[in-house]
Amino acid sequence: MTLPDRAQIVVIGGGIIGCSTAYHLARDHKADVILLEQGKLTSGSTWHAAGLVGQLRSSASITKVLKYSVDLYKRLDQETGLETGWKMSGCLRLATNQDRWLEYRRLATTAQSFGMEMHLLSPQEAKAMFPLMQVDDLVGASWLPTDGQASPSDITQSLAKGARMHGARIVENVRVTGFDIEQGRIKAVRTSLGDIACEKVVNCAGQWARQVGEMAGINVPLQPVKHQYVITEPIEGLSPDAPTIRDPDRRTYFKEEVGGLSFGGYEPDPQGWTMGDVPNQWEFQLFDDDYDHFEQHMMQAIERVPALGSVGVKQMINGPESFTPDGNFILGAAPECSNMYVGAGFNAFGIAAGGGAGWVLAQWVIDGEAPLDLWVVDIRRFSEMHRDRQWVNDRTLEAYGKHYAIGFPHVEYESGRPRIVSPLYERLKAHRAVFGSKLGWERPNWFAPEGMEPRDIPTMGKPNWFDAVGDEHRHVREKVGVFDQSSFAKYEVSGADALGTLNRICANDVTKPAGRLTYTQLLNTRGGIEADLTVARLSDDRFYIVTGTGFRTHDLAWIREHVPAGADVRIDDITEDCGTLSLMGPHARDVLAAVTSADVSNAAFPFGHVREIDIAGATVRALRVTYVGELGWELHIPIAAIGEVFDALMQAGKPWQIRPIGYRALESLRLEKGYRAWGSDITPNDTPHEAGLGWAVKRNSNSGFIGEKALAAVSGQPLAKRFAGFTIDDPDALLVGRETILRNGEPVGYLTSGGYGYTIGKSIGYGYVRNAEGVSTEFLEEGDYELVVAAERIPAKIGLKPFYDPANARVKA
């Protein structure tokens, strides 16, 4: 077949994700799209997928994506005439212990928050739905009636037909061999049948997505893992309408399959396939059956469904699936190449995600920005460290092995650590630090007192570190603490056009004189918050930007992409060049004055300013700013000198009992003060005005900043949602986020974050209260509130101001 010379968009890969993306590009956007498949449609991993379709996730946006899949699979056959095999059988999730049962109670609350139906059942009620199941060990089960199963190949062929019906071209048996790239953009796709000039490329190549991306210098951190399941002969008494079952405590799943059962699982000792290139000639292929490795699932499955012990096996499926280092799939614009998009790494739920992932990815390709808050699956959550194949393999296998683990709060991954450490690592270990990891950086979460083992003990209840973190929290409120925040992402922006460029990208006014700080959001065209950061103006044409550790790749790429062509702007990522110590607490000035010759009085160094000061022989960039609600400075230090500066602070701070403080205390401190966290409290779904951050938006600027038109279009109209805080008095109810907010008994939203405020002695949660007719202050204040915590209603009080106010030394609760 002869390929066209040109297409608007080239989609690479003919599995369910590629076909769904092509379908939505053609149907919704009338795009000129061509899909290239190196073999036959579905021939990679789609054809051998198990086909379970679940919808509930911890992210509202991802749950929306999966719900869209179900809605599409229900009706796609009416459009294309090809069946999808969709069957809304519902899903039972089994619990054999109290921790799992509490997890399900929390999930039931999450389901209510996200508008999904979920019920909690007794063991006997679960058995009534699946009589062949043994339930003597069950505490209970959850029931999601709208989950189900589908035929992966049938869905994909139906999507492909739909794509063709709307004008897309699909070419099989053509291999992508490279790309023509000019100035960071793909100009053409090279193939075994010729070159295709194009405007954009979408990499949906499944387990080949890593090596396809590599041709364009793009990192797609995937690891193929061998995943096995078996299909049995027909089982007497098994209903064709039997629900799918997930039995996570036994690490197994089941679904009805032509009168028999398909069952498999996620073992703690998974088998990766290759860390090299996946063979191109891997069409409709499987690995040899491995009953020795599968025996652990077989034994657990027979104990749950005894009839399996006497039924024959029709087929074993042992095929590769693409998994990722954090168990979330990969979508979005690659940071290394401005016009390649990726949809890959679906961790064996590509069928559940396929319809919705294609929908949002197509919109993303057309608009150049995500249509929803898709941060948890955004490819820009990764960094250069994810080019290390061994690290990706080790972390991915750990994530696979924990696929069915209980979702204990605050659990950290263990593999591949320590990866990146600050020069203070050993010093902090000597202070009995318990470290967590963020984008590879080891960071102290908390410090264990003498006599206490320095480690996290996973629990669904009050954690073992609760009191220790409370001591750290109070120490910052009453004395002074120092945080090692060297993992902060840090950029310098310079050049004759730096000011104008940043003023267009930033929602707040960065035209302040040199020496001033600006707290600002970066907005998308919908007015949603794409980033939340601090900009320090160092001189007329030089700026210093600080943002969160995990957002390093995302925020840098967002800024770079919005620099006008030809502008005199230079952007340097100096994260590793510069360590950061945050000195916070009522005695922060006393300590700082003791180690520098600079005047750090309030008159000389007011809040919101940046100065260069000397400490221990080093020139330190000091930012007068706080995330804890106390007097404080961020000290940005040449990385080689951070040890000496830390030692100087610790020595000078002895009269005020200075001590190092961890990130968990930082979280509780910011909750009391009402500071928002990007990725949870503020996201691309939320505008600054909805988030209570309208004060950080330029007024009457006429600067044409990104998102200004969207905010102006709704100016003066009632807000349909508003950010608010809540406290509860129940000492046993722990808030972790996604708890449902009830106003006068009716659901009006859910918490975006939660934790404990040690100063006020209460649990604190934040979230958005919604009302289609508008959310006024009166509407908020006049309601009676409850929070649904693990399926239990708990009385709550709303707060529209910080619960802790150091300015007048009084506590609000």
Say what the pLDDT of residue 1 is: 62
Element (H, E) at 105: helix 98-113
At the top level of CATH, which class does the domain 91-147+224-320 belong to? Answer: alpha beta
Q: What is the pLDDT of residues 686-738, one digit of tens each?
A: 999 999 999 999 987 667 899 999 999 999 999 999 999 999 999 889 999 99
Across the chain, mean pLDDT equals 95
Instruction: Please report the beta strands in 345-503, taking only residues with DSSP state E, as ranges in sequence order.
Output: 433-438, 441-447, 481-484, 489-494
Burial zone of 81 (CB within 10 Å; 0-12 exposed, 13-18 middle, 19+ buried): exposed
Average pLDDT over residues 440-450: 98
Q: How far apart are CA 113 and CA 109, in angstroms?
A: 6
- C-alpha triplet 244, 245, 251: angle, nearest 5°: 140
Say what the pLDDT of residue 813 is: 30
Question: Does the pLDDT of residue 383 top 90, yes or no?
Answer: yes
Question: Does the pLDDT of residue 516 top 50, yes or no?
Answer: yes
Q: pLDDT confidence of 583, banded at 50, 70, 90?
A: very high
Q: How far apart are CA 511 and CA 502, in angstroms?
A: 9
Q: How far is CA 182 from CA 216, 338, 736, in A?
A: 11, 11, 47
Question: Does the pLDDT of residue 810 top 90, yes or no?
Answer: no
Say what the pLDDT of residue 349 is: 86
Q: What DSSP character marks residue 492?
A: E
Average pLDDT over residues 630-649: 98
Indicate the SS3 state at residue 246.
strand
Say what the pLDDT of residue 47 is: 80
Contacts of 375 (CB under 8 A, 6+ apart): 381, 554, 679, 683, 684
Using alpha carbons, select from 254, 381, 370, 394 the residue that is nearest to residue 311.
Answer: 254
Average pLDDT over residues 587-615: 98
Say what the pLDDT of residue 281 is: 86
Indicate the SS3 state at residue 276.
coil
Q: What is the pLDDT of residues 196-223, one digit of tens each?
A: 999 999 999 999 999 999 999 999 999 9
The pair of three-digit structure tokens given for residue 763, joined into one six-digit string: 């649990």
Using alpha carbons, select from 70, 709, 686, 68 the residue that is nearest to residue 373.
Answer: 686
DSSP character string of 204-244: --GGGHHHHHHHTT-----EEEEEEEEEEPP-TT--TTPPE
Question: Does the pLDDT of residue 811 top 60, yes or no?
Answer: no
Does the domain at 718-811 match CATH 1.10.600.10? Answer given as no
DSSP character string of 422-445: -TTHHHHHHTTEEEEEETTEEEEE
Q: How far apart are CA 763 and CA 240, in angstroms?
A: 47
Q: Is residue 360 a contact partner of residue 372, using CB atoms and an 8 Å limit?
A: yes
Average pLDDT over residues 594-616: 98
Q: How far apart are CA 587 and CA 630, in angstroms?
A: 10
Distance, first Cα to last Cα, the chain: 71
pLDDT above 70 as % of the chain? 99
Q: How far is CA 292 from CA 251, 254, 298, in A?
A: 16, 20, 10
| b/e map 232-260, b = 16+ CB within 10 Å | beebeebeeebbbbbbbbbbbbbbbbeeb
Question: Does the pLDDT of residue 806 top 80, yes or no?
Answer: no
Q: pLDDT confidence of 101, banded at 50, 70, 90?
A: very high
Q: What is the pLDDT of residues 50-99, one digit of tens each?
A: 788 888 888 899 999 999 999 999 999 999 999 998 889 999 999 999 99
> What CATH number belongs to 489-574?
3.30.70.1400
Using the Cα atoms of residue 150, residue 154, residue 156 and residue 160 in order, give the sign of their dihedral.
negative
- C-alpha triplet 647, 648, 654: angle, nearest 5°: 90
Q: Is residue 682 a contact partner of residue 489, using CB atoms and an 8 Å limit?
A: no
Q: What is the pLDDT of residues 462-504, one digit of tens each?
A: 999 999 999 999 999 999 999 999 999 999 999 999 999 999 9
- C-alpha triplet 296, 297, 300: angle, nearest 5°: 90
Average pLDDT over residues 633-662: 98
Torsion over CA of 311, 314, 320 and 325, rounded to 10 degrees? -20
Q: pLDDT confidence of 807, banded at 50, 70, 90?
A: low
Q: How far is CA 678 from CA 292, 444, 603, 739, in A?
A: 46, 20, 32, 18
What are the residue boundaries of the structural domains of the chain, listed by start? Answer: 6-84+150-223+326-381, 91-147+224-320, 489-574, 718-811
Say what the pLDDT of residue 812 is: 34
Torsion over CA of 168, 171, 172 and 175, rounded to 10 degrees? -120
- The reply to whether domains 489-574 and 718-811 share a CATH topology is no
Average pLDDT over residues 6-23: 97
Burial zone of 125 (CB within 10 Å; 0-12 exposed, 13-18 middle, 19+ buried): middle
Q: How far apart are CA 60 and CA 38, in angstroms?
A: 35
Burial zone of 190 (CB within 10 Å; 0-12 exposed, 13-18 middle, 19+ buried): middle
Using the Cα atoms of residue 230, residue 234, residue 236 and residue 242 in order, give the sign of their dihedral.
positive
DSSP character string of 559-613: HHHTSPTT---EEEE-GGGEEEEEEESTTHHHHHHHH-SS--STTTS-TTBEEEE
Q: Is residue 562 a contact partner of residue 503, using CB atoms and an 8 Å limit?
A: no
CATH superfamily of 6-84+150-223+326-381: FAD/NAD(P)-binding domain (3.50.50.60)
Q: How far apart are CA 798 and CA 783, in angstroms?
A: 9
